[in-house]
Every structure is written in C-alpha cells, then in structure tokens.
Structure 1
Amino acid sequence: MEKMQDETQGMRRFGRVNWLGLYTLAKREVMRFATVWTQTLLAPLVTAALFLMIFNLAIGPRRGDVMGVPFLTFIAPGILMMTVIQNAFANCSSSIVISKVQGNIVDTLMPPLSGAELVLGYLAGGIARGVVVAVTIGLGLLLVLGIAPAHPLIALVFVVLGAALMGALGIVAGIYAEKFDQMAAITNFIITPLAFLSGTFYSVQALPPVLNEITHMNPIFYLIDGVRFGVIGVSDSSPMLGLAVCGTATLAVSLLAWWMLRSGYRLKA
C-alpha cells in the first residue's frame, strides 16, 4: 500500500492531474453562486440596468455621441465588463475568506490537490460566474437596447480573460485578508476605483495626457476597451495590445496565487 502511494505521489510530481479533485473543487465553486442566484446573478443584472437608466436619464440625451456612437451604447459594454470583473473577484475572494474565518479552509488544503489544481478549481467558479453574468447582461442589452455584439468571439475572449484575471486577484486578496473588513477594504479602495476609472463611462481620449498615460498602465482598462470593441466595434486602443497586456497580467497574478496556495502563505498555522 505504501509503495502504491509513493508511486502515485511520484506521478503527481511529474505533472499528473487529479481530475476528480479538480472537478469536485470546480463544481463546489460553481454551486456556491448557483444556489444563491438571486444574489449572484440577478442582483448584478439589476445593478447594471440601474446604471444604464440613471446615466441615460441624467446625461444621456445631452451628452451626444462618443467615438461616433450614442452615449448609452458606448457605456453599455463598460458596465457589462465592470460587472463581470466585480463578480469574478467576489466569487474567488469570498470563498477563501469565508473558509478561513469559519476555520474549514483545511478541508480544501488537505486533499491531494496541487497548487495549480487549487488555482484552476477556484478560477473555474469565478470564470463561470463572470461568463453567466456577461451573457445575462448581454441578452438584456440586445432585447432592450438592440445592441448586438459586433465581434462576439472577441467579446467572449475578453470576458473570460477578465474573469480569470480578477478571479486570480480574488484568490490573492482572499489569502491575504484575515477578516471580512480587510476584504471589504480591498474591494472598496482598490477593485472598485480601478473598475470605475478605467474608461467604463468615458473615452480616455477625453483625459489630460498624464491621466491618459496612467490609465494605459491599468490592465482593467484593456479589458473594458476590449469588450467595448467586441460589442460595438470601437475602442481606444488596439485589441491585440489589450490581449497581450491582459494575458500577461493574468499569468503573473495566477502564478502569485499558485505560489501562495502551494506554500500555504497565511493559510497554514
């Protein structure tokens, strides 16, 4: 028996994937948000609709066109992407923080799952929630505003990439935070400002040169800009540049999350 266990561990060290464990963790993360869909899926749809309604009533008719499209059409993809990244981040970060506070994080760390498998399992939940939210809001934009995706495949790629990036960042934040108030501080003072100040409600071409350059250093700007190109066909930067920046950022944050889970940073006593 010991020999068989040693052989299994040896194969795992050479890259064998624990597919059953990975599937189980991914299923758990998906079921976490699916069972409370009124909070995780319906609420973001209502929030996005309120954003669109308020901006349309407040300044929409007087704002005029932005980059050749109506103002409401211009901000719709930004609101969609902003909602996606907030939900992907919340799904991964809340899962880890709740497990740490309740003291059952050990149930996730003890099974024979590698650091990479843990990252992929958590990301599966964040990406699934982000994609479902995006599809739901996208259908709403199509039915209510008549906005059909100009490049649906590009829009989907940026949605998945954005959910993966923010999901990985959610893992990092969830591991770092020790209490709910710390998690709330990260969300309120880092994630939300980055989402709001990344061209969601305006074109960065209207910004002063210094702010324009600073915005171009923010990966979330490229996520919002990429989805905007995929949905309405206009953007402030090249979609290929956005893919390169977001892909690199996602890889870097995912590697950091992998290291934290693999080493047990702030997870193991």
Structure 2
Amino acid sequence: MTGWRTLLYKECLRFWKVAVQTIAAPVLTAVLYLLIFGHVLEDRVLVFDRIGYTSFLIPGLVMMSVLQNAFANSSSSLIQSKITGNLVFLLVTPLSHWAWFGAYVGASIIRGLLVGLGVLGVTVWFGPPGFVGPLWVLVFALLGAAIMGTLGLIAGLWAEKFDQIAAFQNFLVMPMTFLAGVFYSVGSLPAFWQAVSHLNPFFYIVDGFRYGFFGVADVSPWVSLAVVGASFAVAAAVALRLLKTGYKLRA
C-alpha cells in the first residue's frame, strides 16, 4: 500500500506542478465551446422539449473535459517515462501490476474530476442545468474517468513515441468523444445514425451523466450503467494483462 500511495502521489504531483496547462487550459477551452455554441444555438434549439441548449450543453462539455484529460494524464505520463528513460526506476521496485494500475488510473481520475469540476464551476453560471440525480452524476463521472485513464494506460504501454499517442487520441478518442452526443441529442438524429451512435460506448457515458442533471436521457440510465461498467471491466482486464506481462516495458 505504501508503494501504491507513493506512485499515486507522484502521478498527481506531476500534473499539479503544471496546473495552468493541465487544469486551467482545458477549463478555458470548454468555456470557449460554451460561449460559441451557446450563443449561436441557444434561441434555436430546445432539447427534450423543455431544456435550453446552453443548459443541455454544459454536462456534455463537463464530461468531454473529464474524458479527454483522464486519457491524457495516464498516456502522457507513461510515454514520457519511456522516452526519458526514468521508467526503469519503477521497474526495479516490487510494485505489483495492480499497484501500477491503481496509481496511474487513480491519478487520471483525480485530474479528470478536477478539470470537470472546474468546467462545471465556470459554466454553470451561463445556464444552471440542475441536479436531479447527483448520484448518477458521480457514478458516471468516476466510471468515465476510470475508462479513459485505463485506455490512456493501454495507449501509453503500446506507444513508443509521442506521435503514436497523438494518433491514438486524434483518430480514436477525439472522434468517439465528439460523436457521443456532447453537442446534440442522439435522439434527434436519423434512425441510421442513432443506431451507429449506440455502438459508441462514450455515448452511454455522456448520456448517463446528463441524466443525473435533467432526469431525462436518450436511453435508460441503467442501460448506460451496464454498458459503461462492462466497458471498464474489459479495458481494465486488458490493461492489467499488459502490465502483468510487462508488455513493452521490459526489453
């Protein structure tokens, strides 16, 4: 437990030392999204027949920020350690693969939630979304951050240079995040694109999270919880297997 806590502290300290870049910058980006899209569409779009667009947009932006920053934390940390060569100092420790997983994913969850709270704290003044089910908000925020922290860990293990991490993020994480219903209700799409969206696990994270604010969603929150929980279980199993075998960690 001491080793796990030490590694977790080190990972948290790593992003906290550059908080302007890792915390403040994503909050500013989310605010800019809100100002632009909210200003343009507030009077033109009404979601779920009663929710103003700005209020609808806020939970989506919060969750998008959580997901992207949780992924960035674990992936960037691991690839930096590989490239700079300081990963060897972790390899000589008696830390188990469970300790590695808990520390890297735990730090990713903390960073993701800090950014999400920052985005919510700044944007909530533009259109208070309400909190119908705060427990749903917390559960999906934690699971969403955990999934992305785990995917970031997998990407960091697989990648050997920053370009590969960028490709993973730009061609997988970013499209799946933007197409998860952050800026629109999936229920407003044609039937074909609704079916395609339902294949995206990120959609269930955003939809379940938004349910906690409004009490309405495109699918049942229990369905979303089942999909998100299963997705985390699969991602965690893959990451733990890679860590246990030392995939691309040991020469």
> What is the TM-score when the length of structure 2 is the normalising length?
0.96
Count of aligned positions: 250
Instruction: Give the aligned residue type for 1:152.
Output: P
User: Does 2:72 match 1:90?
Assistant: yes
What SS class does the counterpart of residue 43 from structure 2 fall into?
Answer: helix
Contact 1:92 1:167 in 2 (8 A): yes
User: Does 2:47 match 1:66?
Assistant: yes
Q: 1:206 to 1:145 in 2, by over 3 A?
A: closer
User: Does 2:145 match 1:149?
Assistant: no
The structure 2 residue matched to 1:52, chosen from 29, 34, 47, is: 34
In 2, the alpha carbon distance for the partners of 1:47 and 1:148 equals: 22
What SS class does the counterpart of residue 23 from structure 1 fall into?
Answer: helix
User: Where does residue 210 of structure 1 map in the other structure?
Assistant: 192
User: Does 2:235 match 1:250?
Assistant: no
In 2, the alpha carbon distance for the partners of 1:69 and 1:164 equals: 29
1:84 deviates by 0.4
In 2, the alpha carbon distance for the partners of 1:146 and 1:75 equals: 11
User: Where does residue 14 of structure 2 map in the other structure?
Assistant: 32
User: Does 2:116 match 1:134?
Assistant: yes
What SS class does the counterpart of residue 62 from structure 1 fall into?
Answer: coil
The structure 2 residue matched to 1:79, chosen from 61, 75, 81, is: 61
1:146 deviates by 2.8
In 2, the alpha carbon distance for the partners of 1:128 and 1:107 equals: 24
Contact 2:34 2:123 in 1 (8 A): no
User: Does 2:106 match 1:124?
Assistant: yes
What SS class does the counterpart of residue 237 from structure 1 fall into?
Answer: coil
The structure 2 residue matched to 1:164, chosen from 116, 122, 146, is: 146
Structure 1: gaps of 5 or more residues: 1-18
Instruction: Give the aligned residue type for 1:82.
Output: M
Instruction: Give the aligned residue type for 1:27.
Output: Y
Contact 1:142 1:148 in 2 (8 A): no
In 1, the alpha carbon distance for the partners of 2:41 and 2:128 equals: 20
Structure 2: gaps of 5 or more residues: none
Instruction: Give the aligned residue type for 2:55.
Output: T
1:59 deviates by 2.5
In 2, the alpha carbon distance for the partners of 1:109 and 1:234 equals: 47
Instruction: Give the aligned residue type for 1:251.
Output: A
1:232 deviates by 2.4
What SS class does the counterpart of residue 124 from structure 2 fall into?
Answer: helix
In 2, the alpha carbon distance for the partners of 1:206 and 1:252 equals: 30
Instruction: Give the aligned residue type for 2:47.
Output: V
Q: 1:144 to 1:60 in 2, by over 3 A?
A: closer
